[in-house]
Amino acid sequence: MIFPDGTEALQNISFDLSRGEFITIVGPSGCGKSTLLKIASGLLEPTNGNVTVDRERLGYVFQDATLLPWRTVSKNVELLAELHGTGIQERKKLVQESIELVGLEGFEDHYPKSLSGGMKMRCSLARSLTLKPPVFLFDEPFGAVDEITREHLNEETQQLFKQEGFAGLFITHSISEAVFMSTKVLVMSARPGRIVAEFDIPFEYPRKPDLRFEADFAELCGKVSVELRGSHS
């Protein structure tokens, strides 16, 4: 990917992602992670190379929740099904299911302005879940929430991944978040963005919060960290 101003954002990136896989890309700020995701989603066209993604019912969670402030929680969750022309009965059912999946029952009639950061993100997740997406892209979605909420959201995300069986592609710069949720972690370097290392994460699902304190977990995080630092210099 080369931008019109000559910046080469991404170079020789190649990987496959299939159902049952959850790949997380970690990399320093400005390494082109978000660009990669925009290309995968079709928001950007690559200058050369091929991307093949099933974009019919694409799940995509943005850096911020991008909720429409004039819609209540349930109306926000309903939006994508509306855009895809789903019938009203089916829509109501999907909305209810998705809201339950992310634990927002009781908040259906709240407007976004009265929700906390974590709840906004849940609402955003629920919105994509109504599509039952085969592919789910996450663009650093939990960067703006506090640490405790983030750990909860990580746990919930890997549960959803197991339950719904989508193929997940997650972007973050938090190593422990990456290792905790993924089946595979890719480390990216900056300028131009390249993949410099690849780690398979062997832990069983569902993963429990205690996993974060185990030696294997710490060791893997350490390895990823070393690669990440190497890519930075």
Partner 1 sequence: MSIIEEKQTSSSTIPTQPSRTKKYVAAFMPPLILGAGVIGLWYYISFGLLEEKRRFLLRPIHSVIDVGFLDGDNRSESLQALWSSTEVALIGLSISIGLGFILAILMSQAKFMERAIFPYMVTLQAIPILAIVPLISFWFGTGQRSRVVVCVIISLFPIIVNTLFGLQSAERGMHDLFTLHHANRLTRLRKLMFPAALPAVFAGLRISAGLSVIGAVVGDFFFGKGEAGIGQMLKKHANRLQGEELLSCVILSSALGVLVFWLFGVLQNKAVGRWHEANSATS
Is 154 a binding residue for partner 1 by CB under 8 A? The answer is: no
**64 is a contact residue toward partner 1 (CB under 8 A):** yes
Spatial separation of the C-alpha atoms in residues 140 and 188, rounded to whole Å = 14
- Pick the piece of the chain touching partner 1 (CB under 8 A) from 14-22, 152-160, 182-190, 225-233: 152-160
Q: For residue 181, give the nearest of 26, 59, 18 by alpha carbon.
A: 26
Subset of 168-227 contacting partner 1 (CB under 8 A)? none
- Complex with partner 1: residue 145 or 224, whichever CB lies closer: 145
- Give the whole-angstrom CA distance, residue 116 versus residue 144: 11
**First vs last C-alpha separation in the chain:** 22
Question: For partner 1, which stretch binds (CB under 8 A), given 13-21, 106-114, 174-182, 218-226?
Answer: 106-114
Residue 47 sits in the site that holds partner 1 (CB under 8 A) = no
3 state DSSP class of 171: strand
Q: Candidates 9-17, 61-69, 90-98, 193-201: pick the segment binding partner 1 (CB under 8 A).
A: 61-69
Judged by beta carbon, residue 146 or residue 219, the one nearer partner 1 is: 146
Return the sign of the alpha-carbon dihedral for residues 221, 222, 223, 225.
Answer: positive
CB of 224: closest distance to partner 1 in angstroms? 27
Site for partner 1 in 3-42 (CB under 8 A): 41-42
Least Cα distance to 68 among 125, 112, 115 occurs for 112
* CB 196, CB 25: distance < 8 Å: no
Cβ 186 to partner 1 shortest distance, Å: 23
Q: Is 138 helix (H, G, I), strand (E, B) or coil?
A: strand
Query: Does 103 help bind partner 1 (rule: CB under 8 A)?
Result: yes
